[in-house]
Amino acid sequence: MVMRAGVRGRRRGGAVEGSHVTAAGGRTVRLADIATRAGVSVKTVSRVINAEPHVAAATRQAVEAAIEELGAGGDTRPRGRKRRTGVVGLIFPDVRNDYFAAVSRALQERLATVSPTLVSSDSDDDLHIEEEILQAFRRLEVDGLVIFPTGAPSLPEFARQIPTVVVDRTVPSVRGLVDHVLPDSRRAAESLTLHMVEQHHVQRVCLVAGNLGVSTLRNRHTAFHRVVGRTGTENHVLAGLTTAEEAETAAYALFRTLEPPFGVLATNSLMFWGVLSAAVRLGLKIPSDIVLTTFDQIPGVGTTGIVPTNAVAPATTLAARVVQLLTERINNPGLPPRLLEIDYDIAYGTTCGCIPLDAARNVLG
């Protein structure tokens, strides 16, 4: 079950609010002052006040003594939120990625029914930036949070106190703790890889991927290896790439050593464009030399005649399920954590050869 923020038991009539304790007489004492007096961290003070487990008895006694000495010995229980602020926070990892942008737009439309104000922020896939955003959202007293997580240290604690829905990917610290809406990356990656091997009969396949520390990309990598292991297909993996330029450089170095035809699964639009650029530099044609498949919508292909073979998580469906879980969580914080998996939409186009278009071939060589 997901725990609500609060204390089991009361302390004679005061309350913890944000970063301070309000005593019964109205005097405010900062948690930092309590921590200094007790010789512990602010986080430890918060754990004692909130009656969290796994605090040493001596530490608990020191904190309680400091509270008494500083005159905040009233009820240090966090008060239940008596009103909603009308604000929901959204944290996404990369504003430059068109998939995240599409999901964010869909969420903004859907969240309008839950909250009049959406505050969104880009973590740049950096857990330290994500941590700063979480602290800002805590100060804003948001009613709920939707997050594409990177792994900020305080995320589990934040999620215990504020209704939170994790979307697209997860991190170990909140797996099984909060509500999730996740596209089924494994199934989609298996389908695309099998399509290249079984339908287009390539004997070599390559995975061109971003950071495999991200659960979504790790799942795609796992599924790719499951297929090539089962079919005995020669395979190559390029991973840890963050830009189209990095993908182009790595793909160019690999492709010049391979005999066409071969297949490529790109894990996002940046990897797709990097692969395409490397193919053009080497004079390799799509799809006769390279059978190319990818994840996500590919912006900018409208004028090229290219129709990507791609797996796309339906943004509107994803957003609808996220808002459903967030609304239910806000209205009933005691619900157990839920996991909803969403199927990708897979379309077959010119880049794998299922749709032969001369225009696409002319563009590529």
The C-alpha angle 78, 47, 149, rounded to 5 degrees, equals 90
**Confidence (pLDDT) at 82:** 47
- CATH number for position 230: 3.40.50.2300
Task: Please tell me the number of Cα atoms within 13 Å of 172 on its side-chain side.
Answer: 1
- Reported as a pLDDT band with limits 50, 70 and 90, residue 4 is very low
Amino acid 19: pLDDT: 52
Residue 13 placed within a domain: no
Q: What is the model's pLDDT at position 72?
A: 47
Between the alpha carbon of residue 207 and those of residues 71, 149, 185, 272, 295, the distances in Å are 62, 24, 14, 11, 11
Q: Is there a single domain that holds both residue 62 and residue 206?
A: no
Residues 97 and 52 in one domain: no
pLDDT at 140: 83
Whether the per-residue pLDDT at 117 is higher than 90: the answer is no
Query: DSSP character for 12?
Result: T
Q: Is the pLDDT of residue 213 over 70?
A: yes
CB 291 within 8 A of CB 104: no
Regarding whether 298 and 192 lie in a shared domain, the answer is yes
Q: Indicate whether 365 pLDDT > 70.
A: no
Express each pLDDT in 129-179 by its tens digit.
999 999 989 888 889 999 999 999 999 999 999 999 999 999 999 999 999
For residue range 34-46, what is the model confidence (pLDDT) as tens digits? 778 888 887 777 6
- Does the structure show a pLDDT above 70 at 204? yes
**Is a pLDDT exceeding 60 seen at residue 352?**
yes
- On whether both 52 and 121 belong to a single domain, the answer is no
- pLDDT at residue 143, as a whole number: 92
**Sorting pLDDT into bands at 50, 70 and 90, what band is 27?**
very low
* Domain membership flag for residue 3: no
In this prediction, residue 51 carries a pLDDT of 52
Rounded distance, CA 10 to CA 50, Å? 10
Structural domain contains residue 16 = no
Q: Does residue 323 or residue 304 have the better pLDDT?
A: 323
Does the pTM of the predicted model rise above 0.75? no
Which of 70, 95, 125 is the last residue in one of the domains? 70
Q: How do strand 164-167 and strand 144-147 relate by DSSP bridges?
A: parallel
Residue 64, domain member (yes or no): yes
Residue 172 inside a domain? The answer is: yes
Q: What are the CA-CA distances from residue 3 to residues 51, 142, 157, 332 (Å)?
A: 12, 18, 10, 12
User: Which of the listed residues 35, 70, 105 is the one where a domain comes to its end?
Assistant: 70
Q: What is the pLDDT of residue 110?
A: 86
Give me 114's structure tokens. 């839950």
β partners of residue 208: 238, 266
| Residue-averaged pLDDT of the chain | 83
pLDDT band at 59 (very low <50, low <70, confident <90, very high): confident
Question: How many distinct structural domains can be found in the chain?
Answer: 3
Query: Are 251 and 148 contained in the same domain?
Result: no
In-domain check, residue 5 = no
Q: How many other CB atoms are there within 10 angstroms of residue 111's CB atom?
A: 22
Q: 259-263, 313-317, 361-365: which range is least confident on average?
A: 361-365
CB of 79 closer than 8 Å to CB of 17: yes
Residue 79 lies in a domain: no
Q: Is the pLDDT of residue 56 over 50?
A: yes
Which range of residues forms the domain containing residue 244?
Answer: 185-313+346-363
Whether residue 111 is found in the same domain as residue 228: no
- Residue 304 and residue 280 share a domain: yes
Res 31 pLDDT > 80:
no
Residue, of 74 and 245, whose pLDDT is higher: 245
Q: How far apart are CA 313 and CA 23, in angstroms?
A: 50
Task: Give the pLDDT confidence score for residue 200 in this predicted structure.
Answer: 97
Whether 196 and 259 share a structural domain: yes
**Do 355 and 255 share a structural domain?**
yes
Phi-psi domain of 212 (left: phi exceeds 0; alpha: psi -120 through 50; beta: other) = alpha
Tell me, yes or no, whether 144 lies in a domain. yes
Query: Do 136 and 55 sit in the same domain of this protein?
Result: no
**Same domain assignment for residues 210 and 170:** no
pLDDT digits (tens, 9 = 90+) for 65-87: 776 666 544 444 344 444 677 88
Choose the final residue of a domain: 37, 70, 103.
70
| Lookup: tokens for 316 | 């509107």
Tokens of 347: 């379309």
Q: Which of 176, 178, 116, 172 minimizes the C-alpha distance to 147?
A: 178
Same domain, 116 and 136: yes
